[in-house]
Structure 1
């Protein structure tokens, strides 16, 4: 047996093992427990997030590094993009249409999970090796649970260092460029694309290095400018496709619901595999319970941790319930998922758009994928660097950045199977310390939420009486 297929099989076995029933219970069951524990109060104040994002409550003197809008945009740039496009395609390819239902379940309970994890990320911020204020699950564990829980913090940081590799984004971006443009134009021959993939990976690495040089401030500003526009552009594309097949939309939703409980995974799996694929892809898409989003929300400028928790709740709604659903409908309505051949990932989504937009489908998709994949790559660098500094201090940060650039290039020439298994597996490992610490510290969030929302409601009543 060749070494590379053996590595692929080993990584797939690892990902399947860590995404077993215990983790599914921890993520979905834990999120449901947090939803019940909160009594739904954060959901009732979801509209407050609009005021927070508008800058109405911003104070430049508050501790932190970026405002609420930039923190959310940074967190979304780590989730929006290829996780919503190729991730949904992979979920349907492996788990069938029913996997989308379980992505929805993950998102619905993930709204509560994100409220708690983001609030804790601000509530229990700690100092890094250079004395700078930082947030994230490893600091939540160290500051909130104490030093005796440090092994759990180290586990998250190690898994985060591996899970935040840029290989998936560079792999899928390169695949879209190669299969949609380079091969049809005759620039590369099928099976002989190493040089093309390498050059594309190199160009992505060089562009990423420029944004990364500006640290979180430049990343936050870049994300705040790119993410909203690209999201609206992509939603416009999907709505055109959905409108073209509007009569089949009810049947598509019926297929998702029926397949969710039939266990007829395309890859020949059982109901358990459909659920596993849906939950794992949902977690990869919106990162609720994984902890990565807390690394971005923990940098928010605020003295009120609950405010960032409210802002973070928008993540799963925008990411999974809106964008992933639109992507799934495009793939199902056009019938692209039933085409013969070994088509997977972003290529499947590109073919779905081609059903309506013709040869311009992949071009339009690329216009959206490139900026969002790029923003995800630089955001993942920020996440990984925070894990690196937590583990090793401020020394040799340039070494990590250099290695990250090399991995962008390696991801461009690697196989999708290996790349997918590494990232999904590490996401599972990160979820363990994140969810355990969140459940143990949830009482602090409830206390702070009760105090904050009571003060907010009192202020509203006074303003109403005054008017």
Structure 2
């Protein structure tokens, strides 16, 4: 099912649509990266603006969902199937994704809607309704139904459970298969319940503290691995570029008549899974930002794929490549990354990785619940959104006790179904964003803001 959903049509929608947006706006937002950082740091914050959370909290909430197992396990899956070249196509996906995130997050503020309780909300379902009109409601409903499943944390939980089992339980002789996985699932469900039942405020405050910590810790560990293997780092950086066009290590099916096409599709798919640009999840967090300037939130959102894929995914990829485990180990997913850390930093490396994985995964668990409740509110009314949390908490136990392939196929399929309405509406509404951007950037040039 996932392979059908992630075929040529979706590749055209995500990458073709993203390229179209990038060309339409002529790379304009990329020239304002320093301004984006100033916005993120709160230079332009105004307490009187509409919204619930700060720019920084919006970005860290979105990042706490995207900087997760996609960056650790997803990259490992991409290299296992595609070799070093898959990383290059993940980078391409990120650059295009930065443009897509700029548009979708701007729209999330530009066309905010009201839920059944009269509270201001943002996200694809609202910008479809407010920007395109009520006749487009089926598209908003399609996004929201797909989001109910797509936001489930089953992949993250599955890989976190596997990591705990590989790194802690098996060496201690405590692994009991289904039984120990079930116990891990129950513990994770309990921790998640405590945070998510406190609503967006508690989720965003937790993410604000966890996300910067986890990125710095992970960065430090990978720098040690690269330092130990510094002589071969240039070789592998070069191999990422050369293999992207030769697909020498690709093990999957051909696409568009060749293995390079298959490799491109694999890299784009894993890149989109990692940074979620065009899927429509992040605009739900950015739509809650406290701002009356849509372009500012678009600029902040644009930093997401850069941090997520260009930095964090690249760190994972280099750790796997320079240690050689991608060629010598039979492991896949998170287990492959753990093997790389253990090889380069004996005794300590795998525990450091486990700590990162715990923070990455648990922070993702909190944010995805918020996305699911937003979809539930839109479909059935805000007063019923809390019901989703119980469904969500139950799915954590399912994710802990099911196979990786089942979970990956499930989430890939529903991510694809979320991307269709998100990208379609974004491309149609692109002229509104471009007009807003020209106005805003002209104001910057005139130094009036």
- CA drift at 1:374: 0.6
Mapped to 2, the partners of 1:399 and 1:67 lie a distance apart of 27
Aligned to 2:174: 187
Mapped to 2, the partners of 1:426 and 1:398 lie a distance apart of 22
Matches within 5 A, 1:97-246: 97-188=84-175, 192-246=176-230
- CA drift at 1:197: 0.5
TM-score by length of 2: 0.97
State whether residues 232 and 322 of structure 2, in contact with CA within 8 Å, keep that contact through their aligned partners in structure 1: yes
Q: Partner of 2:129: helix, strand, or coil? A: helix
Matches within 5 A, 1:327-366: 327-341=316-330, 343-366=331-354
Matches within 5 A, 1:287-436: 287-341=276-330, 343-436=331-424
- CA drift at 1:61: 1.4
Aligned to 2:44: 57
Mapped to 1, the partners of 2:362 and 2:444 lie a distance apart of 38
- CA drift at 1:240: 1.0
Deviations 1:9-42 (A, max 9, x none): xxxxx10011111211221111111111111211
Aligned to 1:441: 429
Mapped to 2, the partners of 1:139 and 1:152 lie a distance apart of 11
Deviations 1:222-262 (A, max 9, x none): 10111001101101111111122122112112222222222
Q: Partner of 1:66: helix, strand, or coil? A: coil
Aligned to 1:81: 68
TM-score by length of 1: 0.93
Q: Partner of 1:283: helix, strand, or coil? A: helix
Q: Partner of 2:444: helix, strand, or coil? A: helix
Q: Partner of 1:184: helix, strand, or coil? A: helix
Mapped to 1, the partners of 2:234 and 2:413 lie a distance apart of 34
Q: Partner of 2:361: helix, strand, or coil? A: helix
- CA drift at 1:399: 2.6
Q: Any unmatched runs of 5+ in structure 2?
A: 254-258
Q: Partner of 2:442: helix, strand, or coil? A: helix
Aligned to 1:6: none
State whether residues 369 and 392 of structure 2, in contact with CA within 8 Å, keep that contact through their aligned partners in structure 1: yes
Aligned to 2:256: none
State whether residues 289 and 435 of structure 1, in contact with CA within 8 Å, keep that contact through their aligned partners in structure 2: yes
**Number of aligned pairs?**
444
Aligned to 2:23: 36
Cα RMSD, aligned residues only: 1.3
Q: Any unmatched runs of 5+ in structure 1?
A: 1-13
Mapped to 1, the partners of 2:183 and 2:53 lie a distance apart of 34
- CA drift at 1:266: 4.2
Aligned to 1:267: 251
Aligned to 1:7: none
Mapped to 2, the partners of 1:48 and 1:266 lie a distance apart of 40
